[in-house]
A and B are shown apart, each in its own frame.
Chain A
Amino acid sequence: MTTAVEVAKPPVRPAGGGTRRPRPGRLRRVGLPYLLLLPALILELLVHLVPMVIGIVMSFKELTQFYIRDWGTAPWSGLDNYRVSVDFDAPVGEALLHSFLVTVGFTLLSVGLCWLIGTAAAVFMQDAFRGRGLLRALFLVPYALPVYAAVITWVFMFQHDNGLVNHVLHDQLHLTDKPSFWLIGDNSFYALLTVSVWKGWPFAFLIVMAGLQNIPRELYEAAALDGAGVWQQLRRITLPSLSQVNQVLVLVLFLWTFNDFNTPYVLFGRAAPEAADLISVHIYQASFVTWNFGTGSAMSVLLLLFLLAVTGVYLTLTSRNRRSSRAR
């Protein structure tokens, strides 16, 4: 008797099989998913992966303007390009290290500010008030504006003689002795940071807003019944509920900011001032202005390795947090 009952039980789903139910006729359609993926695969191969492999090959070659038309014939140089890039006592390596450190500092500041402003704005706008819809639309304008149009306006504002920034700081508020230069010299770092935050925070705002919509209202109602004030609700409910969203958001913001080329390029042109010499523009200059594509490729590969390492460590750390918080 007992065996019969056991046989009649529905088969236990194997562990780790996920929530998907096996579907009838799946075997027959086994080729279909590959067919559906084919266009994306071909394009990713053509535009991302093959060029990346070519880039890696190029980094081992002595690729100057003499060989660029027929890059396959450029002589091999082994690790020379890498050696030049990481020789921090020589000019090329020293400049690369400087640019790398500037980029790291800039990225951390920019991502931090974008996250802070975006989160604050989203949290303040979580509850309905008059004008919220209008304000939300306004806040998304920097994100929607094309980079070159927005950044070129900032270039105008940062002009030495006829810009708004100097007009306000010097002529109207008398904060500086004489009009400052914003697009050359040390100030350029702050100019770049301002523009980057202005352009970047609405993305954080968008994502956090989306994340807030997933928090059940009942949580707040229960907390309010228990006597928790707005600030306590923010600390105990809102921020913890956003932690997963934040993990994705911070990583995406970091990668985008670190690799950003458009903003510094429109702001400063082909050669950025030393204080704001972000790595993308630096490599662009090393390749296209000094015409040493081999070294430029080696620098790009090093940059990629760094980003891979950062992402790997970050994902490991956050997934461990996630696992331990689930276990609790």
Chain B
Amino acid sequence: MAPPRSFLWSRRIFLTLLTGFVLLPVYVMVSSSLKPLADVTGEFRWLPSGLTVRPYIDIWSTVPLARYFVNSLIVAGAATVCSVVIAVFSAYAVSRYDFRGKRTFTVTVLSTQMFPGILFLLPLFLLYVNIGNATGIALFGSRGGLILTYLTFSLPFSVWMLIGYFDSVPRDLDEAALVDGCGPLGALFRIVVPAATPGIVAVAVYAFMTAWGEVLFASVMTNDTTRTLAVGLQGYSTLNDVYWNQIMAASLVVSVPVVAGFLLLQRYLVTGLTAGAVK
């Protein structure tokens, strides 16, 4: 049965307006990144007076963007891998075993989502400094400290989603594997993980985006050599000039990997959420 005209028209109008709202900044980012400097310092222009790729060349020398890029890649990549592996173990334990303290664990992990980041910024900073002084392990200012921090940011949500996802994998499958002589870890990696791949991909995407986009801890816990993109982009505005065209070009460059990855994997994200978060 075809929907009535009132529905079709409301849908058309709503979706058109929303598309405009969503795309406006994207248009500004792309078009401004191709403008000569005179175009972005004067009155706003919808169309560039002359197209130029100059900003895309200059961004690499105005600030050490390549280094920030590599730092971000290492930090976000390592945080993602660790976070996903740890979340898989935890979620498997919660989903497949009954044990004392299970509820306490899930509630505690989930409630860390509620903590304002600002509450543990300074304590964590002091803790890292103290651990560094006591053991010589440099956590503060190093990539390792940032990796450690970021992986715990995405961990609670990942565990939570994976529990739901693992629950939706029929228990009989891994029990059969156990009966056939697989160890519990064998059952996890041969049966549950493959069956839950969409959920795991979804969680990985989420973890990567969280780490790639974080600003607060990155600005306090990094130094010149470990700075990530989140902080590095601030280098394009000096006291006298703001190179808006370069800022836009750099923003676009740092966005492309995450947006592309996200759009490629978004199907998994929806399926992952369906099985995990929504239950």
Contact = CB atoms under 8 A, between A and B. Distances in A.
**Could you tell me the dominant secondary structure of chain B's interface residues?**
helix
Contacts, number: 274
Given A47-B149, A157-B28, A280-B117, A40 B155 contact: yes
A167 B31 CA distance: 16
A140 B262 contact: yes
B221 to A, nearest CB: 12
Contact of B118 (A20, A154, A280): A280
A207 B277 CA distance: 8
Nearest to A131: B15
A148 B28 contact: no
Given A55-B123, A139-B18, A146-B229, A44 B108 contact: yes
A139 B156 CA distance: 26
Interface in A103-155: 117, 120-121, 124-125, 127, 135-150, 152-154
A307 B105 CA distance: 20
Contacts of A303: 116, 118-119
A214 B148 contact: no
B86 A210 contact: no
A311 interface: yes
Interface in B188-245: 209, 212-216, 220, 229-230, 233, 244
Interface residues of B, number: 94
A224 B40 CA distance: 55
A307 B120 CA distance: 15
Contacts of B105: 37, 41
Interface in A152-185: 152-154, 156-157, 161-164, 166-167, 171
Interface string A177-213: 0000000000000000000001000000011011101
Interface centre among B41, B114, B262 (most CB of A within 10 A): B114
Interface in A244-301: 245, 248, 252, 255, 258-259, 261-262, 265-266, 279-280, 283-284, 287-288, 293, 296-297, 300-301
Given A40-B90, A255-B113, A262 B119 contact: no
B258 to A, nearest CB: 6
A225 to B, nearest CB: 10
A231 interface: yes
Interface in A41-68: 41, 43-44, 46-52, 54-55, 58, 68
10 contacts: A48-B112, A48-B120, A51-B127, A124-B15, A138-B19, A141-B263, A150-B255, A210-B278, A230-B3, A262-B214
Counting from the closest, the 7 A-B pairs by CB-CB distance are: A51-B123, A149-B251, A51-B120, A144-B262, A54-B123, A167-B44, A36-B93
Given A47-B148, A164-B44, A296-B118, 18 more contacts: A36-B89, A37-B93, A37-B105, A39-B89, A47-B120, A51-B119, A120-B14, A141-B259, A147-B214, A149-B29, A149-B252, A156-B28, A163-B44, A210-B273, A248-B278, A259-B117, A279-B116, A311-B114
